[in-house]
Structure 1
């Protein structure tokens, strides 16, 4: 009796599943056993095992030990970093970030816009000792509860902002911070505040014990949004008063980065224009 072809086993289905595995593992730096990966993408464990084996063979994933968890290797991150470096984005940004990090003594990060996503692409650590918040680059910003996400959404209408959040999903308080907004009404309040101030402030929303402030980066020639710049640090040090003091420095850095937009050809969006699928 001929075998029934497994649903989604064609080339397109295999590619989508493989990319989904990479996305899932990127959110679990400690790794995941293969059966949890299978449950997450809702395919048979045998098929999951084959896809993971191929990723291991190509060097994108490694298994911690026999029958252990699967984790991403640095090869995945290196692809994105090589791309950004080839276009000069991180090289041109870095002096601005380094200077701001030195002035504020906290973590400074930049996102760039990739269609409807914000991707962290560069950072500078200003904390010289004690508590340090220092996540990896390459993460996608959670729009509903990160200062970067709220800063970007504040440049849009409430309707557009809520639609983008609902597309990505609200960040749960268990996974993110205890003050992460859970409703459209709560997000609208934060967006109104960000529009009034010119920057978004979050207190233990993206991560417990951490506060942050972010502002949009706009291309200097036409005002188009290209990304965000943020300062983040422990809440005992980066207080609300401290963030207010740092806001002018942050806004000035955003303006300086905005002048680089045409040079590095950052991804941009403009009302009435189709959005680019890639940033080149």
Structure 2
């Protein structure tokens, strides 16, 4: 799995020596593992360069899993509707183990200044995003400490926007404000010049948090009144998502065949 994750992260071909170095494993062991992955159809080796790369098998299985979640046919219409209403960029993130991961989006802007994320990772920076803060605000402090550590801390200098917090004291102050408002905000935090509003949603009306819905756009058109307006729409969408979650269970229920009359 470490080999597969590394090949995904590098987004291209890698030589045996490079793989072994980055994984801190002996070449002989990595070579044997690559041979097993090739035999199973997960990896292929270029005949000319001898470099290794992933086959399309992982993509196909990932797409099948994504479709089975119900996100494309059940959640996407809600995202599209929110994007049309706000005319901004909308994103859905779900909690996956100890991380928050973006899984779907919708672009509502149709012209002029249009926001497209420059973040290249699907994992949400918890301390620097409206989505991350809206989730963390619902958790005890001890768990917040653990999640920040598991997700790389507060990042390297210059990695995020100028207003991103760099300490737990500042983060907990922001989480308290998020808790009181009922939604998270980020002003030039994950990315310079971008403002975002987000709300967490639950599994049902009383279940645990399972994800977040956010709206983001250029700060130049995100004044106080605009943020207040977007927060109401985001909270409403979060309530709609809570009402349909868990979507996998609903998908299985809908697909059950009905017995015919004798």
Residue correspondence of structure 1 range 35-46 to structure 2 within 5 A: 37-45=19-27
1:26–1:193 Cα change, 3 Å: farther
The corresponding residue for 1:254 is: 238
The corresponding residue for 2:176 is: 192
The corresponding residue for 1:217 is: 201
The corresponding residue for 2:124 is: 141
The corresponding residue for 1:84 is: 66
> Going by fraction, where is helix more abundant, 1 or 2?
2
Cα distance, 1:149 vs structure 2:
1.7
Normalising by the residue count of structure 2, what TM-score does the alignment of the two structures yield? 0.76
Give, in whole Å, the separation in 1 of the partners of 2:34 and 2:224: 45
Residue correspondence of structure 1 range 93-132 to structure 2 within 5 A: 93-129=75-111, 130-132=113-115
Deviations 1:54-87 (A, max 9, x none): 6577665678996598766665344333213124
**Matched residue count:** 248
Give, in whole Å, the separation in 1 of the partners of 2:238 and 2:44: 38
Q: Which structure has the greater CA radius of gyration?
A: 2
Describe the SS at the equivalent of 2:62: helix
1:63–1:152 Cα change, 3 Å: farther
* Unmatched 5+ stretches in structure 1: 1-18, 267-280
The corresponding residue for 1:154 is: 137
Give, in whole Å, the separation in 1 of the partners of 2:240 and 2:146: 30
Deviations 1:175-202 (A, max 9, x none): 3334332221222122112111111111
1:74–1:40 Cα change, 3 Å: same
Cα distance, 1:158 vs structure 2:
1.8
Instruction: Single out whichever of 152-161 and 206-215 deviates more from structure 2.
Output: 206-215
Cα distance, 1:141 vs structure 2:
1.9
Question: How large is the Cα RMSD of the aligned pairs?
Answer: 3.4
Give, in whole Å, the separation in 1 of the partners of 2:28 and 2:159: 29
Give, in whole Å, the separation in 1 of the partners of 2:52 and 2:39: 13
Give, in whole Å, the separation in 1 of the partners of 2:95 and 2:173: 23
Normalising by the residue count of structure 1, what TM-score does the alignment of the two structures yield? 0.72
Instruction: Single out whichever of 71-80 and 204-213 deviates more from structure 2.
Output: 71-80
